């Protein structure tokens, strides 16, 4: 479902340009943060010999114990999901 925000400004074209630039910058920052978070997940995957998706499924199903290492991994997964969600919001937005 598409929703709309109304902004009133005295210079619509300049504001739209500024908004598009700001959203583009934020999208780049989010992509960089996503990449860094994925890099932080790699040592966990190597150490525990499972993918993050597999870990997430097992952790949610309580098939693995809640150790400090697994909680650290889980926090990285949650950070990744949060960043991806924010990125998706920006990607879905249209400035008209």
pLDDT of residue 1 exceeding 90, the answer is: no
pTM of the entire predicted model: 0.86
Residue 9 is assigned to a structural domain of this protein: no
Whether 80 is in a domain gets the answer yes
**Span 54-89, pLDDT tens digits:** 999 999 999 999 999 999 999 999 999 999 999 999
CA separation for the pair 4, 96 (Å, rounded):
11
* Contacts for 20 with CB less than 8 Å, ≥ 6 apart: 95
12 falls within a domain: no
Structural domain that includes position 76: 25-91
Q: Tell me if 16 is assigned to some domain.
A: no
Total structural domains within the chain = 1
């Amino acid at each position: 479902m598409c929703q709309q925000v109304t902004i009133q400004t005295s210079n619509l074209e300049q504001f739209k340009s500024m908004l598009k630039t700001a959203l583009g910058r934020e999208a780049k920052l989010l992509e960089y943060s996503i990449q860094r978070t994925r890099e932080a997940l790699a040592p966990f995957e190597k150490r525990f010999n499972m993918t993050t998706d597999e870990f997430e499924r097992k952790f949610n199903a309580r098939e693995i114990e809640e150790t400090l290492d697994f909680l650290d991994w889980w926090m990285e997964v949650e950070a990744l999901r949060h960043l991806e969600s924010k990125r998706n919001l920006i990607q879905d937005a249209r400035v008209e």
